Structure 1
């Protein structure tokens, strides 16, 4: 696997050195590796460094360690680059653990000490953050001044100074608990990965000194390992050293896209050819973009979106525009707008997507008026399928509203416009730069965006609930007041108008309860899953039945007080009729 020096233009510079030997043992059961890619892969996935130490009592220890490092380092780069490092690496480690555990069961190993079991230490440097994953007693350190600070905690159960067993390791059990932490990177940070045959025998300060005085990192790694051997180490010796000499600059320029530095496409005239697409006409224009209908050589229709002159001069807005196609290419759902590759190599900056023969949900609502319950369920159900495609890739749409929903002639619903979409994996690279921060119409925006509180998939649920409410009633649950929220106090003062207040909507009380919950100002009081919201729109749940089993005083106050008065009269008559002492 690659080591030495790796960099991309104006990007990180990472140096790697390593040494691994059997030491006094007959064979080396350690495995170590690194992957430092280039270009967009380095930006979106980072550089990964892994180390595994096979359990010494197992005859397949080396096979386990090698399989673990190889699988983790390769499979990590097969995961979605929209995911966070933690999500991607955790899923890969979990899958690797399951495979190792299964291999042990396959060969009939009853004792885990003889199975496919190994430690794992994984370091991923992405953007300006270091991500540490760990199980077992291999260690990851950071050089700090004249010594090294451990970034991991050993999962070793000791029975003596030199003897013990692993309390946690890959392949030992069906499930694996992985320690995780992240820390900010600074240029020049040095990380050291060691197996127990090294760090059990050498002081951290001595190792740090050897790194400072070595000519290169390979030499430093070898000197540390041999120092441990000289101190009496009787185990395998593996050291990997990583130095981040330079880091990517923060900001939107840290996000390369498939379009690179292509020039912005000027507004094409009808009949013009754009990379094999023949322009038919302009169909829509806003202050952010202009959309043209084009025809591909095979006769299919393609929507061509170019940035407006206003955002061309704004690097953040332009980068957000370019991210739209990046996002569309990473979501595969019949309910989400699909990106289209132009017939010829791209020569300009634009976004090409499928053309949907239909109308926006806003136009559909104007044409048909309030929808019935069955139609509302159908539209909401399709929107949930689309939103799940975002959420499973750790994305939030953040601008779900009727204008950003299309319905084609077959009734298929699609979510469009990704200019406000938040991507967790991108946020790790370039936080606080405004990418995915341009929110849409405030009437559909969850209050937590306006109060500065934490956002989550429940924020998209709020927008979905608002659309469902509007489909049924033709109005919004909080009217214009939702757009005026600026604090938590404002949010909690929002006055929900029951969907049942309009008799013509024919909304049953239990369905109104589901709507009220979906648009609750407090995100933690909304549904626990999108599917739960849809289920409560289809049938009353135990919760909605309980909520609408109202006491008589609420349902009929007059009858309630008549009953109370009658009971009091009976008590008074009985008291008067009671014989005295």
Structure 2
């Protein structure tokens, strides 16, 4: 039986010797599937004494973070999810200050420090702004994991260098570290760690393993007894159990319906789960694809069923279910959309919209010499589909003409997600989810053949390869990319110009493709939108390189300029 993540949290906060408590803290221990998808979150904010509304900022920061973090997409990484929430929180706090009586004195406005610890699978993620601290207990001592953002004016006087709500722009310290069962973390404000010794804190936690709330209370009491004149907040986080490697995949499968039986072999006119089977569209050793009609709505749909021969392979089933999971999290007219389930499923399959049209492969056969505008129109639509993937921190990884459909209206759609890599799921630790699914070798980026992880520039390479093929009818490097398995071999790859006598292709188009098809991903376009933009007009860099000299453009102006320079030199010599 697979194990899930178990985290124990103890917390305590008190105003101490101050009139009010400007600290705020919170923790969220969700149930499945959020536990595997997003992890456990613990957050702490410390208001500053110069502000009379800082406690509002602290409460808003912590409660908003814990609520909004779990509303972000499961496809996003912890880093992207948390940073997006914190940036939004910072903007809101800064706006509150700008609209208040404290707009000219930001130290009295809606500002606070913030520290958060998120534990997902077997990794701890730390986010930090200000001077609250996050420690890890190591034996009888504490290992400080965060750096204080405090600027010291003198030995006695200092002020915060960074805090939430101070500036429009937010700089967040971020780090990750592996965790093991039994690891213990401590989050504390300066009213605690400046007065309670590390030895006392670690010994108290060790003595109060069964009651971490009491441990936090005793630590705060010790700081108060030692003379602390600030608010006192302590949070203790202990990793009681780590999830087993297959736990994330099993929960994802159960959520998606992997417990359902495999469907039988489907035949035309057969009634299956409320669908009337029309015909088989495609069949392979891995799946079967059918055209069907929904008996309830009358709409035509595509049903994809898993291979019966691979029904006992959990890794295969996990990847099969992932396609629908991914499709439900993408919203683009240029990405195949899943069908909304109108009736209960009795078998395991995937239902998607039916695209009436042809694959890009067939379109290329039917249009061996397309116009440049036709190519641009297709590429721009595919790029919009890819950008929908990239916004969700997904990489398609298998973009090729067979996975692109063009419907009867000319709308282009990406239709297959079998090799898609989802960054947020990679963090869940499932071996099946982390397995690299390399796409078709002719269109795969060179870095995949070095065993490196892909980026959005890898999908850019695949799209540029398709663009090149539409314009020339061949591949930019032939079959050499798949054979180049070392960096040295890839550096020897020679780009073949897309220009030839039979096609009217501007020279700057070749320059765009050459850059997007660089074997080194760092030499490609930084963003897919740049590649698409440059397909419409020559870049300034290209124009400056190819601009003819002044002598060729305007001989008269050249000789006039030269004569003027010579006259000035002669005049200077005569004056000297």
Match of 1:88 in 2: 81
| Pair 1:183 & 2:177 matched | yes
Cα separation, 1, equivalents of 2:317 and 2:433: 11
Q: Rate the CA distance shift 1:94–1:325 in 2: closer, same or farther, 3 A.
A: same
- Aligned with 1:100: secondary structure? helix
Offset, 1:9: 6.9
Cα separation, 1, equivalents of 2:251 and 2:391: 22
Match of 2:572 in 1: none
Match of 1:478 in 2: 477
> Does the 8 Å CA contact 2:216/2:235 hold for their aligned counterparts?
yes
- Aligned with 1:479: secondary structure? coil
> Does the 8 Å CA contact 1:254/1:430 hold for their aligned counterparts?
no
Deviations 1:174-194 (A, max 9, x none): 111110000011111111111
Match of 1:223 in 2: 218
Cα separation, 1, equivalents of 2:417 and 2:476: 25
> Does the 8 Å CA contact 1:316/1:435 hold for their aligned counterparts?
no
Equivalent of residue 237 in structure 1, options 227, 232, 239: 232
Cα separation, 2, equivalents of 1:481 and 1:547: 29
> Does the 8 Å CA contact 1:320/1:436 hold for their aligned counterparts?
no
Offset, 1:435: 4.2
Cα separation, 1, equivalents of 2:538 and 2:430: 42
Deviations 1:24-65 (A, max 9, x none): 111111100111111111111111111101111111111110
Match of 1:135 in 2: 129
Q: Rate the CA distance shift 1:195–1:145 in 2: closer, same or farther, 3 A.
A: same
Match of 1:388 in 2: 387
Cα separation, 1, equivalents of 2:156 and 2:271: 74
Offset, 1:460: 0.4
Offset, 1:263: 2.6
Match of 2:242 in 1: 247
> Does the 8 Å CA contact 2:395/2:454 hold for their aligned counterparts?
no
> Does the 8 Å CA contact 2:40/2:118 hold for their aligned counterparts?
yes
Cα separation, 2, equivalents of 1:112 and 1:104: 7
> Does the 8 Å CA contact 2:191/2:230 hold for their aligned counterparts?
yes
Alignment of 1:158-173 (within 5 A): 158-159=152-153, 163-173=157-167
Alignment of 1:434-449 (within 5 A): 435=434, 437-449=436-448
> Does the 8 Å CA contact 2:4/2:242 hold for their aligned counterparts?
yes
Deviations 1:355-398 (A, max 9, x none): 11111100111122232101000000001101110111111100
Deviations 1:246-271 (A, max 9, x none): 11112463651432433333333334
| Pair 1:370 & 2:369 matched | yes
Q: Rate the CA distance shift 1:128–1:176 in 2: closer, same or farther, 3 A.
A: same
Cα separation, 2, equivalents of 1:325 and 1:81: 14
Cα separation, 1, equivalents of 2:419 and 2:428: 17
Alignment of 1:263-282 (within 5 A): 263-282=261-280
Which piece of structure 1 moves more, 181-190 or 530-539?
530-539
Cα separation, 2, equivalents of 1:374 and 1:182: 47
Deviations 1:524-571 (A, max 9, x none): 1111221221222111112223444589xxxxxxxxxxxxxxxxxxxx
> Does the 8 Å CA contact 2:42/2:117 hold for their aligned counterparts?
yes
> Does the 8 Å CA contact 1:277/1:343 hold for their aligned counterparts?
no
Structure 2, unpaired ranges of 5+: 550-576
- Aligned with 1:25: secondary structure? coil
Q: Rate the CA distance shift 1:386–1:436 in 2: closer, same or farther, 3 A.
A: farther
Offset, 1:410: 0.3
Which piece of structure 1 moves more, 529-538 or 416-425?
529-538
Aligned residues: CA RMSD = 2.0
Match of 1:205 in 2: 199
Offset, 1:307: 1.4
Equivalent of residue 528 in structure 1, options 526, 529, 534: 526
| Pair 1:28 & 2:21 matched | yes
Offset, 1:294: 1.8
> Does the 8 Å CA contact 1:421/1:436 hold for their aligned counterparts?
no
> Does the 8 Å CA contact 1:54/1:65 hold for their aligned counterparts?
yes
Cα separation, 2, equivalents of 1:241 and 1:163: 30
Cα separation, 1, equivalents of 2:156 and 2:39: 36
Cα separation, 2, equivalents of 1:69 and 1:128: 24
Offset, 1:432: 5.4
Match of 1:411 in 2: 410
TM-score, scaled relative to structure 1: 0.90
Cα separation, 2, equivalents of 1:234 and 1:392: 47
Q: Rate the CA distance shift 1:483–1:64 in 2: closer, same or farther, 3 A.
A: same
- Aligned with 1:183: secondary structure? strand
> Does the 8 Å CA contact 2:268/2:279 hold for their aligned counterparts?
yes
- Aligned with 1:20: secondary structure? strand
> Does the 8 Å CA contact 1:499/1:505 hold for their aligned counterparts?
no
Cα separation, 2, equivalents of 1:234 and 1:175: 32
Q: Rate the CA distance shift 1:543–1:311 in 2: closer, same or farther, 3 A.
A: farther
Cα separation, 1, equivalents of 2:134 and 2:13: 16
Match of 1:350 in 2: 349
> Does the 8 Å CA contact 1:16/1:240 hold for their aligned counterparts?
yes
| Pair 1:37 & 2:30 matched | yes
> Does the 8 Å CA contact 2:125/2:176 hold for their aligned counterparts?
yes
Equivalent of residue 513 in structure 2, options 515, 518, 521: 515
Deviations 1:122-142 (A, max 9, x none): 111111110000001111111
Match of 1:311 in 2: 310
